Amino acid sequence: MAAPTVSARVIPTGFKMPEGYPTTIAFAKNTALQFWEVTTQPPGLDGGEPVNNTTMLNSVWRTMRARRLKTLTPIKVTAAYDPDVLDGSINKIQGLINNEGSVTVIFPTTDSISFYGYLQKSEPAENKDGEMPLLTITVVPTNWDPVNNVEAGPVFTNASGT
């Protein structure tokens, strides 16, 4: 039986973002949506739960295997907003709900990740005295090109110099 190998950590050569400001989001179907990002959570990557491979022939350890497919996780954005964005027209939030298209998250370095997805929900927070009214939106990556009807994963675009 082979043993796992020990690996030493190597110092990375990349660029570490000094802070998260500004991280913005753009919907191809409306790049000038009337909200102003306060917080933006970029999508994550999820390999899913492990596949249990334990059998009655295991003697000490439960064994598991990695799944083959990956998930691009939903993102949340908290933003200040113009109440007009809640209007039911096609180029406002109601028009983007469940309307699949291209979405881009732009990092402070101007690196970006673009993916197919849709606006799943829009939830205004309570309006309070002395606080800026906020809206939280949830965007679900689909990894599905709705025009060509094919699987299409995210595209990472590196900014020059990073």
Query: Domains of the chain by range and CATH?
Result: 24-48+67-157 (2.40.30)
CB-based contact 100:118 (threshold 8 Å): yes
Report the distance separating Cα 4 and Cα 131, nearest Å.
Answer: 54
Lowest mean pLDDT among 50-54, 135-139, 148-152, 156-160: 156-160
Q: Percentage of the chain with pLDDT > 90? A: 85
Confidence of residue 161 (pLDDT cuts 50, 70, 90): low
Q: pTM for this one?
A: 0.90
- Closest by CA position to 159, among listed 114, 109, 108, 106: 109
- pLDDT attached to residue 86: 82
Residue 65 one-letter amino acid = R
The tokens describing 37, both together, are: 């990002």
- pLDDT attached to residue 14: 82
CB-based contact 100:116 (threshold 8 Å): yes
Report the distance separating Cα 91 and Cα 95, nearest Å.
Answer: 6
Beta-bridge partners for 101: 117
- Residue 97 is classified by DSSP as B
Asked if the model's pLDDT at residue 20 lies above 70, the reply is yes
CB-based contact 122:88 (threshold 8 Å): no
Report the distance separating Cα 138 and Cα 123, nearest Å.
Answer: 9
- pLDDT attached to residue 85: 87
What integer best gives the mean pLDDT of the chain? 94
Cα 38 → chain centroid: 16
Mean pLDDT, rounded, for 83-104 = 88
- pLDDT attached to residue 142: 98
- pLDDT attached to residue 28: 96
- H helices present in 2-160, as ranges: 93-96
φ, ψ (nearest 5 deg) of residue 38: -105, -45
- pLDDT attached to residue 87: 79
- pLDDT attached to residue 111: 95
139: region left, alpha or beta (phi > 0 left; psi from -120 to 50 alpha): beta
Report the distance separating Cα 98 and Cα 119, nearest Å.
Answer: 6
Confidence of residue 160 (pLDDT cuts 50, 70, 90): confident
